[in-house]
Amino acid sequence: MSSQLPLRVVACDDHAHITCTLEMALRKAGFVVETYPSGELALEAIQRETPAVIITDCQMPGGMDGLQLCRIIRGDSRFWDVPIIMLTSKGYELSENMLRRDLQISALIGKPFSPRELIKLVQSLVGVENATV
């Protein structure tokens, strides 16, 4: 992964308070953050310019959910090395082994999540160690 700064993160969740939390935390850590309320919009942004990391909710109503988004991303060789973090709500349990094996998910995080821990995870996935990028 290139260490070119600033690193771009694409985040996708249908709940505005989640995308707001993601955006505030990651921007404070020095990342460029783009948030989207749907899988379709996130996919367009990802295809337009490859991000350093993708964060997506698992379940989103309407069109494309996080699982479908991951399948499409992993089906395109341009994005094979892009880490994906999947967010899940309590009560919706997925097999982490299945997600890692079938969709090459880098990490699975339950909601609610700690912004500090999320930042540490994103930094570790892109090879950044400092509190600010």
How far is Cα 97 from Cα 70, in angstroms, rounded to an integer? 15
Q: Is residue 2 part of a domain?
A: no
Structural domain harbouring 119: 8-125
Q: How far apart are the C-alpha atoms of 42 and 27, rounded to whole Å?
A: 18
What is the count of structural domains for the chain? Answer: 1
Q: For residue range 117-131, list pLDDT tens digits in order.
A: 999 999 999 998 654
CATH number of the domain where residue 119 is located: 3.40.50.2300
pLDDT at 99 over 80: no
**CB atoms closer than 10 angstroms to residue 91:** 6
Q: Is residue 56 part of a domain?
A: yes
Domain-located, residue 132: no
Q: Is residue 42 part of a domain?
A: yes
**Cβ-Cβ contacts under 8 Å for 49 (sequence gap 6 or more):** 8
- What's the pLDDT tens digit per position in 2-51? 455 689 999 999 999 999 999 999 999 999 999 999 999 999 999 999 99
List the beta strands (DSSP E) in 16-132. 32-36, 53-57, 84-89, 107-111
In a domain, 131, yes or no: no
CB-based contacts of 44, cutoff 8 Å, min separation 6: none
Residue 92 belongs to a domain: yes
Q: Quick: pLDDT tens for 51-66.
A: 999 999 988 877 888 8
